[in-house]
Amino acid sequence: MHTGLLAAVVILAAACALNLALVLRLSKIVREQPAAAPTVDPGLPAVGFELPSFAGLTSRGLPLSSADLATGTVVLAFLSTTCGPCRESLPRFGTFAAELREAGGRAVAVVSGPAESGAADMVGALSASCDTIETAGYEDPRFTAFGVSAYPTFLQFTDGRLTVATHSVSALPVPVAA
């Protein structure tokens, strides 16, 4: 009876020693691997991207161009009326835009989609906290010039250079007064 118990202990000890050897070898292999390149979302422009040239009118009929947004901190939100996550992000982006304005920055929401899909409602929800631009289609130059192909997209520019590109409002840095 003691021989069976002794054999089980020896086998268990051998299995533990083998397991330890495998874990140590795997950890060495993992440490020797080169660092993975950061993943780039194909729906977002690359950080460092320069603010493209554009001109147009806001939903209130006021002129807005790239020259108006070339200095300071500017966040552009690209939203689609047919996008559920875009609608879900409206309250949070409205709050963020108001905080950014109080900190001396500026926010612009570019809303795309057919009028019957609620563009006026989306613009109305944001117009108190930021400038808004309505576009009828997704091929509008204000979308394509920025390389946006997925929604929602939030781009933060500092002095005309892209510093943050994300699909989530919560990934934007908290506005701080300059």
Identify the three-state secondary structure at position 8.
Answer: helix
Q: How many Cβ atoms from other residues are within 10 Å of residue 140's Cβ?
A: 15
* Stated pTM of the model: 0.75
- In the chain the first and final C-alpha atoms are separated, in Å, by 79
Per-residue pLDDT band for 21 (boundaries 50, 70, 90) equals: confident
Residue 36: predicted pLDDT = 45
Whether residue 105 has pLDDT greater than 90: yes
- More confident position, 7 or 104: 104
Which whole number is the average pLDDT over 152-176?
A: 93
Contact 151, 85 (CB under 8 A): yes
In terms of pLDDT, which residue wins out, 49 or 22? 49
Contact 135, 111 (CB under 8 A): yes
Q: What's the pLDDT at 37?
A: 44
Residue 147 and residue 87: Cα distance in Å, rounded?
A: 21
* 70, pLDDT greater than 50: yes
Query: Residue 118: pLDDT band by 50, 70, 90 thresholds?
Result: confident
pLDDT of residue 142: 64
**Alpha-carbon span 64 to 49, nearest angstrom:** 20
SS3 content of the chain, % helix, strand, coil (to 5): 40, 20, 40
Once rounded to an integer, what is the mean pLDDT over residues 16-32? Answer: 70
- What gap in Å lies between CA 114 and CA 123, rounded to an integer? 13
* pLDDT the model gives residue 20: 72
Q: Are 69 and 162 in contact (CB under 8 A)?
A: no
Residue 120 corresponds to which tokens in the numbers above? 């006026």
pLDDT tens per residue, range 75-93:
999 999 989 999 999 999 9
Residue 63 has pLDDT above 80, yes or no: yes
